[in-house]
Structure 1
Amino acid sequence: MKWFAFLFLPLVLAKDLKGFNEIRRDVPLAVSCDVEACQLPDCRCSSTDIPGGLLPRDTPQFVTITFDDPVNPNNIEIYREILYNRKNSNGCPAGATFYVNHEWNDYRLVNELYNQQFEIALHTISHNNNASYWAGATYDIMEQELGHQRKQMAHFANIPYESLQGVRLPHLQMTGNSSFLVMADYGVVYDCSWPTMHFTNPGLWPYTLDYATTQECLIPPCPTASIPGTWVMPMVSWFYGGSCAMVDYCDNSPDVNDEEAWFRFIVKNFEIHYLGNRAPFGFFVHDTFLAANPAVKAALIRFMDLVNHMHDAFMVNSIDVINWVKNPISLQEYRNKGCNPWKQADCQYRICGPMDSEHNNVEYWMHICNVCPRIYPWLGNPLGI
């Protein structure tokens, strides 16, 4: 579903949004950012300024490749083909981030992706397709969707709970304060659901919600509360006769059968960042788009090959960008600092099912790295006990 389809949600859903701020009314309204008080590593005003006051030539150009939705035996083949065994020019593994939801997810393959040193992040349990569900979600709903999913993902994929540090909301539909308050309470670090069309050249760098943001609200309701230490990683839009946050929804993009045109399209948008303020460049996509369009996939591979051979650009996990922004270091220091430590996660593989489900009476099978649940896990019972 296209994110720009919800630009006028306040007009059509106003009556449904009354509940989104019912919980945690004690949270104060965010005020204009106090630059002197808001200092790294814990606070950053929304800004296109390079963190740490670095010059563009001294700033690493981060590239974040992200995929949404469940991991399954079909899309894992794409991920293995295009991502595995890649290294950046500093010798460290190239990163990618997977925003994974629960239904039909293969947790054994999530474990595999984690062990390839890719980032696993949260995309809710239900992935409800009704935009008004998310637009009107209360704190309690988002606690079940995100807070409990963190425990669920760690349990069934047998990966570290603390490694799950990011969120992308379904359809990029914002939930007002609700999801960010849950993130703060459950120790989730950042959200990457919020597109910007205004702050693109120069691009908007990640910032915290201690103070009011300057980022425009394209898919309301957006957060209004002061939620200290909770990070926003803006989805800086691409341009090609129009604009888009997710690559597969670029209406005015080149012909999907034209590899060369798509390669130029990607590079042109990358250069806006690289030749500008070096704000992180995101390639946000669904695997089905690459599977259906081999020329686009080939163009992406060429682009990643290009980045992997550049001395000042790096494919990284999204959380790596946040960690750099918290403690910015120069390009040379970044190249010399060494690779992030990584501990492998075991998988005691089990096939579970058929299992009854209480929410829709469908029988499910699960591929997991832990003990089989009693019933299919869902909202209110994330471990299926």
Structure 2
Amino acid sequence: MRATTKAKRRELAAASSMGGSDGDRGSSIVQMPNPQFAMEKQMIVSRQQGGPYTIDELEENYDYSELCLCTPFKFFLFLLLIAGLVLAGLYGDGVLGPKKSQSSGSNGIYTTSFLTTFMPDNDDAPDSSSTESPYAFRDVLPDPLPIVTRKTSECSPNACVLPDCGCIGQTTPPRDLPVADVPQIVMLTFDDAINNEVYPYYERLFRNRKNPNNCPITSTFFVSHRFTNYRLVQSLYHDRHEIASHTISHTHTDAWEEEILGQREIIRNFAFVPSNQVTGFRAPFLQPGGDQQFIALARNGFNRDSTLIEKDFTNPPLYPYTLDWVKSTTCVVEPCPAQYSYQGLWEFPVTQWESVDGSVRYGMADEYAPPTKKAALQYFRHNFNRHFNENRAPFNMYMHASWFDNYPHVLEALDEFIDELLRHDEVYMVSQAQALDWMHTPVSLDRVFKLDSWQCDTEVEGPPPCTAAEAKKCVFQDPVTGNPITLETCAEECPKKFPWVGNPAGEKN
């Protein structure tokens, strides 16, 4: 197996050095003379092709002996773990509520026929108390953002003013807040499908943990469609986590609008998350789509992207910025947004992490393969301290739950690290949407109560989730492999077809 892995690495390195072929999904990535950028390119190509998933594995310097199951005792523990996960998936109810449905209308709002449709957000809508369904909720589309001719001048703090504009490259707190008064925002986010395999990780990390204001810590989940259990998405949403779009097919695509908006519609149709609550996006593999991607985001009211890897390792770290002033320095991996300015569209950049000794830089946190729990803890602490002790720019912990599958000790380390973070009165673990509210209105630590989204005394929009027993398990043919695939949802009926690109409601035969 190790020889096969080495062969794959050599093939990836060869593809990277030649720039890729037309059939290579990574072929649109720019050749970068900096060795670190070249490694980021190779990392993207590798993940698109199914692994390796960490830079350490690509460099062939990772010691796999820590992960070996070659002793009978380790193998027995492994079998017990698998059996436990299977039983949890079969019999676990979670902390879920009664099954709900939806109600409908016009106003340009997407409707479905197999579900009760959505109430329009206008004065002509009937009183929900008079409708037949007691579970109707109003679905509101966010307003589109302006797209204008590209601004070629440098961003000026006098012209780019909060709450709607922030200059690229800012490393000092907004509105001249003293660093000591700035809440240290920590954004722990996860990409890809949400299902029974990864949900126990999230329960372990988030359950019963609270910020200094006594509200639950929250995350942003960038959700792709295949293999996602929408009952669990609905449960996470009602635990006040943010649900964001990560495309339907999770491939490199040119159909950006269908992929981005379609996934928002699927999330609304099957997890009952209102459209105006799905306003964040991250492209698969951190592979941006140039202006096509950002046009699709802006005109559909997405106010935030989190795809672009920062070009330079900045110390102190960058604060988020808007794409009003688009420059070639905005991102590393091409194609980058270049032709237009996207007013009010915020970029939460992929701020680079570094190894404890400073010799290696990473895009997402999970590009490192810590050999031990101790090494993982040191890695987390080192990168957090760079933010906390410098300028308190929002600290991004961007990762995939598959990191825990491959390196279980990383989950143990993260579990312990979160406890360490929450001992700081200055630290708030919030979603990107909540972090954006703070960027719009930067307030000092003693005034975070002014931010409505940071509070937890209001009801979550949309109907609560059903139980596992009440959920529909809809079986279809996977459009990619042709194998059976299950869509689990609290909807009252299954769609006709598996929802997919161009058919997010699953209505078309």
Q: TM-score range by the shorter chain?
A: 0.7 to 0.9
Quote the Cα distance in structure 1 between the aligned partners of 2:148 and 2:482. 39
Unaligned runs of 5+ in 1: 18-25
Which residue is equivalent to 1:86? Answer: 209
Task: Tell me the CA shift for residue 361 of structure 1.
Answer: 4.1
Are the structure 2 counterparts of residues 265 and 356 from structure 1 closer, same or farther at C-alpha, using a change threshold of 3 Å? closer
Question: How far does the alpha carbon of each residue in 1:146-189 deviate from its partner, in whole angstroms, 9 at most, with x for none?
Answer: 01211111111012211111111000001111111111111111
Counterpart secondary structure, 2:290: coil
Larger-gyration structure (1/2): 2
Which residue is equivalent to 1:21? Answer: none
Quote the Cα distance in structure 2 between the aligned partners of 1:90 and 1:197. 35
Say whether residues 1:320 and 2:441 are aligned partners.
Answer: no
Quote the Cα distance in structure 1 between the aligned partners of 2:328 and 2:480. 40
Are the structure 2 counterparts of residues 333 and 117 from structure 1 closer, same or farther at C-alpha, using a change threshold of 3 Å? same
Are the structure 2 counterparts of residues 238 and 247 from structure 1 closer, same or farther at C-alpha, using a change threshold of 3 Å? same
Quote the Cα distance in structure 2 between the aligned partners of 1:10 and 1:121. 35
Which residue is equivalent to 1:246? Answer: 364
**Aligned with 1:151 (options 265, 268, 280):** 265
Are the structure 2 counterparts of residues 323 and 115 from structure 1 closer, same or farther at C-alpha, using a change threshold of 3 Å? same
Quote the Cα distance in structure 2 between the aligned partners of 1:142 and 1:75. 27
Question: How far does the alpha carbon of each residue in 1:270-290 deviate from its partner, in whole angstroms, 9 at most, with x for none?
Answer: 000001111111111111111
Are the structure 2 counterparts of residues 49 and 369 from structure 1 closer, same or farther at C-alpha, using a change threshold of 3 Å? same
Is the 2:474–2:488 contact (alpha carbons within 8 Å) kept by the matching residues of 1?
Answer: no
Which residue is equivalent to 2:195? Answer: 72
Q: Which shows bigger deviation, 287-296 or 354-363?
A: 354-363
Say whether residues 1:56 and 2:171 are aligned partners.
Answer: no
Are the structure 2 counterparts of residues 358 and 126 from structure 1 closer, same or farther at C-alpha, using a change threshold of 3 Å? closer
Say whether residues 1:260 and 2:374 are aligned partners.
Answer: yes
Is the 1:312–1:331 contact (alpha carbons within 8 Å) kept by the matching residues of 2?
Answer: yes
Quote the Cα distance in structure 2 between the aligned partners of 1:14 and 1:362. 28
Q: What letter corresponds to residue 218 of structure 1 in structure 2?
A: V
**TM-score normalized with structure 2 length:** 0.66
Say whether residues 1:339 and 2:455 are aligned partners.
Answer: yes
Is the 1:206–1:233 contact (alpha carbons within 8 Å) kept by the matching residues of 2?
Answer: yes
Is the 2:321–2:347 contact (alpha carbons within 8 Å) kept by the matching residues of 1?
Answer: yes
Counterpart secondary structure, 2:474: strand
Is the 1:107–1:368 contact (alpha carbons within 8 Å) kept by the matching residues of 2?
Answer: yes
Higher relative contact order (CA closer than 8 Å, sequence separation 6+): 1
Which residue is equivalent to 1:22? Answer: none
Are the structure 2 counterparts of residues 39 and 157 from structure 1 closer, same or farther at C-alpha, using a change threshold of 3 Å? same
Which residue is equivalent to 1:109? Answer: 232
Task: Tell me the CA shift for residue 331 of structure 1.
Answer: 1.4
Say whether residues 1:200 and 2:314 are aligned partners.
Answer: yes
Quote the Cα distance in structure 2 between the aligned partners of 1:336 and 1:34. 28
Q: What letter corresponds to residue 256 of structure 2 in structure 1?
A: M
Pairs within 5 Å for 1:135-146? 137=254, 141-146=255-260
Task: Tell me the CA shift for residue 336 of structure 1.
Answer: 7.0
Q: Which shows bigger deviation, 361-370 or 34-43?
A: 361-370
Counterpart secondary structure, 2:149: coil
Q: Which shows bigger deviation, 195-204 or 38-47?
A: 195-204
Task: Tell me the CA shift for residue 198 of structure 1.
Answer: 1.5
Which residue is equivalent to 1:283? Answer: 397
Unaligned runs of 5+ in 2: 1-7, 29-146
Task: Tell me the CA shift for residue 294 of structure 1.
Answer: 2.4
Question: How far does the alpha carbon of each residue in 1:118-151 deviate from its partner, in whole angstroms, 9 at most, with x for none?
Answer: 11111000101xxxx44xx2xxx11100012111
Which residue is equivalent to 1:35? Answer: 157
Are the structure 2 counterparts of residues 8 and 223 from structure 1 closer, same or farther at C-alpha, using a change threshold of 3 Å? farther
Which residue is equivalent to 1:237? Answer: 352
Q: Aligned pair count?
A: 363
Q: Give the fraction of aligned pairs with identical amino acids, expressed as a percent.
A: 33
Quote the Cα distance in structure 1 between the aligned partners of 2:303 and 2:21. 29
Quote the Cα distance in structure 1 between the aligned partners of 2:171 and 2:412. 32
Pairs within 5 Å for 1:165-184? 165-184=279-298
Is the 2:223–2:246 contact (alpha carbons within 8 Å) kept by the matching residues of 1?
Answer: yes
Is the 1:99–1:122 contact (alpha carbons within 8 Å) kept by the matching residues of 2?
Answer: yes
Task: Tell me the CA shift for residue 323 of structure 1.
Answer: 1.0
Quote the Cα distance in structure 2 between the aligned partners of 1:8 and 1:293. 27
Task: Tell me the CA shift for residue 13 of structure 1.
Answer: 6.9
Is the 1:355–1:374 contact (alpha carbons within 8 Å) kept by the matching residues of 2?
Answer: no
Counterpart secondary structure, 2:346: strand
Which residue is equivalent to 2:485? Answer: 364
Say whether residues 1:381 and 2:503 are aligned partners.
Answer: yes
Is the 1:43–1:228 contact (alpha carbons within 8 Å) kept by the matching residues of 2?
Answer: yes
Are the structure 2 counterparts of residues 262 and 363 from structure 1 closer, same or farther at C-alpha, using a change threshold of 3 Å? closer
Is the 2:449–2:455 contact (alpha carbons within 8 Å) kept by the matching residues of 1?
Answer: no
Question: How far does the alpha carbon of each residue in 1:29-53 deviate from its partner, in whole angstroms, 9 at most, with x for none?
Answer: 2323132221111111112231121
Quote the Cα distance in structure 1 between the aligned partners of 2:434 and 2:238. 16
Q: Which shows bigger deviation, 161-170 or 196-205?
A: 196-205
Question: How far does the alpha carbon of each residue in 1:203-247 deviate from its partner, in whole angstroms, 9 at most, with x for none?
Answer: 111111111247452211111120111110011111112011222
Counterpart secondary structure, 2:404: helix
Are the structure 2 counterparts of residues 277 and 342 from structure 1 closer, same or farther at C-alpha, using a change threshold of 3 Å? farther
Quote the Cα distance in structure 2 between the aligned partners of 1:73 and 1:310. 32
